[in-house]
Structures are given as C-alpha cells and as structure tokens.
Structure 1
Amino acid sequence: MRTSAELVRTARERADLSMRALAERSGMAYATVWRIEHGQIDPTIGTLRKLLAGAGQQLEVDSHDADIPRLAALNNAWHRDGRGQDRPDWTRLRALIDALSLHPELRGPATIARPALSGSDFMDNLLAALAEKLSDDAGLPRPGWTKTVPALSEPWFSPATPRIRAAAESATPPQFAARQIVMTENSLWRDSDFVAA
C-alpha cells in the first residue's frame, strides 16, 4: 500500500504538473500540497480526493478481510476417537495461539467471528473458552457469541492420573473452568520466549 505522499506525487508527475499547478487545480494552498508530498501531514480522504481529481485521477477506497488467523476456522479441528471421545487437533489450536502471541493486535479480529457449530459440545466450548481467554488477556471485551455456548454438563479431562488431574484442576484458567474444561494454560500456550525465538 502506498502512502498519501506517494499517491499525490505519482498522480502529479503522471499529469505533468508542478506542485503549484496541482494546488491551483485542486483549490488548495501550495504549502499544503508540499507538506503532503513530503510526508509532513496526512491528508483526509476528502483532501486526497481533491488532489487526485486535480491531477485527473479518481481515488477509490476498498476494504477486504484481513489475512489473519481466525478462531472460527478451527471448528473442524477435532475428531472422535475409537472410544467416542472428542479429540482436538492440538497442533492447529497451538498454531493459532502462537500466531496471536506474535501479533497480539490481531486477537480482537481473530476472535470476533462466531465459529459454526462443530458437532462437538466439547470443541464448541473449547473455542469459546479460547476466545474469552484471548480477549481477557488482551483487555478486550469478550465476543458476544461466547455467551450463547452453554457450558459442558460434565467436566472434560485429558487422560491423566488422579494426581496430575488434581494439579490440572488447580491450574486451569478461569475461562476454561467456567466451561468445565480442565487443562493447564501451558497445554496450549507456549512459553513466550519460545514463540518469539
């Protein structure tokens, strides 16, 4: 994406206009055009439109979905094992969390879209708990869709000995505990030094 300064300068040069001529054709002060082209001020969309029109061009503004990891894309990141247990694809879940650890500014956009129902109450709750924890950790409001996912009626545990299970219960983040999912934070979140390396 080009800067405003580059857009104005390129349009002016294509039209073979001086800065003074562009300012006159756009109804602006020469000093304003000079400051914009030198990156000293950022013009409004309206000012940019006038300048480009003065150079015979039209400004078009467009938006599209950002290429960001999305929690909603993980609704199919699970399978049912031979014993009928729902098993998440831990690799895909950790990859999303790693990406958001490296780019914390994407936590809000990554969690806002509601995942389609997965067919697994456990997976739906796991995604809701992740969205809540990611939002809470970033100081963002929780996405509204998480309120519509009813908590599990029975606790979900990873296979473990009673002692390990008790330790996991005491170390479970509150967003997971509220949904009856028992797992430690380090089951999904890696050490931040590891992720940044």
Structure 2
Amino acid sequence: MGAADLVRETREDAGLSRSALAARAGVPTSTVSRIEDGSTDPTLTMLARLIAAAGRHLSVSATAQQADSTRPAIEVLNQAYMPDPQGRKVNWARLRGFLDQIAAHRELAAEAIETPPPRSGDAAFDALLAGIAEKVADDAGIPRPRWTKTVPPSPTPWVAPGTPTRVARARANAPAQLAARNIWLAARDLWRDAA
C-alpha cells in the first residue's frame, strides 16, 4: 500500500475529513490533499504525524530484498502507474528509487534501461518512462535504447500540479528528454542530485 492509500484509509477509518485530519496534525489541508491525490510523497516524519493524528501508530520495518530485485530495471516501472477513475496516480517513490540506484551504480545504466517496460495503458506515463530511459542513457554517455523510438510523446501536456509559479518553474526545469515528450516535470522532482 502506498502513502496516498494509507493516509486516505486511515483518515476514513477514523471518520475524519481531510481538513479535520490536517487540523489535528497541524498542517495545511492542501498537504493532506496532495498526499492523498498522489501528487507528492510525504516524508516518513510527515506520514507518521498524519497517521498519529488519525489515532493510529505507524510501524515501519526493513526486510531483505531478493537478489534479483536489487538491480534497477525500467521494465518493471510500469508497476509504478496506478489507474484511477479520478486521474493518474504514480508511485513517485518507486521511480525515484530506480533513479537513485542508477545514480549509485552508473555501471548498471545500460542493463537497467535495455528491456522496455510493458505499456501501462496511459500514453503519458509510457512517454515518461521513455524519457527517463533516454535521460539515463544521455547522462551515462551510452546510446539510447532503441525501444524508446517506438514510444510517442504524451498526447496532452503532463504538467506538475501546483501554483502557477510552481508549474512555470517545472516547465523551465524539465529535462530536454521529458520536454520532447510533452512531459513538463522538473528534474529535481525525480533526480535527487539535480540542481
């Protein structure tokens, strides 16, 4: 279960509205809304704070990964897309985790982007993954994977949610590989080491 679902289900189980949960946690209602809508990933501290405000305790544990799951692979990132009747939901933490692994192990870049992910059913999300693969290749100084040529740009612009200033900043700071695919997300929203 992702953070968005966890916060929503905990809040609903407690019989609280978004604004009531926000008031109890001492945060703006917009913070709860962005987390539940999946447009932002909360820190662990924020997640624990919201869960506590709903009268629950957050428990976190670490488990060993299987050997094959430690290697980054774009082919499984289609699982970061979650269809929803109210709009696109993306597990941003999963995408950032992939990019963090590549940043830590640049020697794995070619292998990580070689096999294409299955199509998700959302043309914009598929374009995002292709743009990510192209940026990973360009940053590593390796040829772009051939499969990205078969993925068309997003049919409609994918713009970061937020205030007009935040949207303009995201457009100005979108990597060229994403912008070429009609994806207007700032590099720092995905690549943690981006300036």
Query: TM-score, normalised to structure 1's length?
Result: 0.61
The amino acid that maps onto 2:74 is L
Q: Map residues 103-114 of structure 1 onto 2, 5 A cutoff.
A: 103-114=105-116
CA distance in 2, matches of 1:121, 1:87: 13
Structure 2 CA distance for partners of 1:157 and 1:169, relative to 1, 3 Å:
same
- Cα deviation for residue 191 of structure 1 reads 2.7
In structure 2, the gaps of 5 or more residues are 1-67
- Cα deviation for residue 159 of structure 1 reads 1.3
Structure 2 CA distance for partners of 1:167 and 1:114, relative to 1, 3 Å:
same
Q: How many residues align?
A: 127
Equivalent residue of 2:117, what SS? Answer: coil
Structure 2 CA distance for partners of 1:66 and 1:96, relative to 1, 3 Å:
closer
Equivalent residue of 1:76, what SS? Answer: helix
- Cα deviation for residue 138 of structure 1 reads 0.6
- Cα deviation for residue 67 of structure 1 reads 6.1
The reply on whether 1:76 has 2:79 as its aligned counterpart is: yes
CA distance in 2, matches of 1:74, 1:66: 12
- Cα deviation for residue 158 of structure 1 reads 2.0
Q: Map residues 1-197 of structure 1 onto 2, 5 A cutoff.
A: 68-83=71-86, 85-191=87-193
Larger radius of gyration: 1
CA distance in 2, matches of 1:131, 1:187: 16
Deviations 1:140-172 (A, max 9, x none): 110000000011121001211112111111111
RMSD: 1.8
CA distance in 2, matches of 1:151, 1:124: 9
Deviations 1:100-149 (A, max 9, x none): 11100000000010111111112211110110000000111100000000
Report the identity percentage: 43
CA distance in 2, matches of 1:122, 1:129: 10
In structure 1, the gaps of 5 or more residues are 1-64, 193-197
1:86–1:122 Cα contact (<8 Å) kept: no
The amino acid that maps onto 2:181 is R
CA distance in 2, matches of 1:120, 1:154: 11
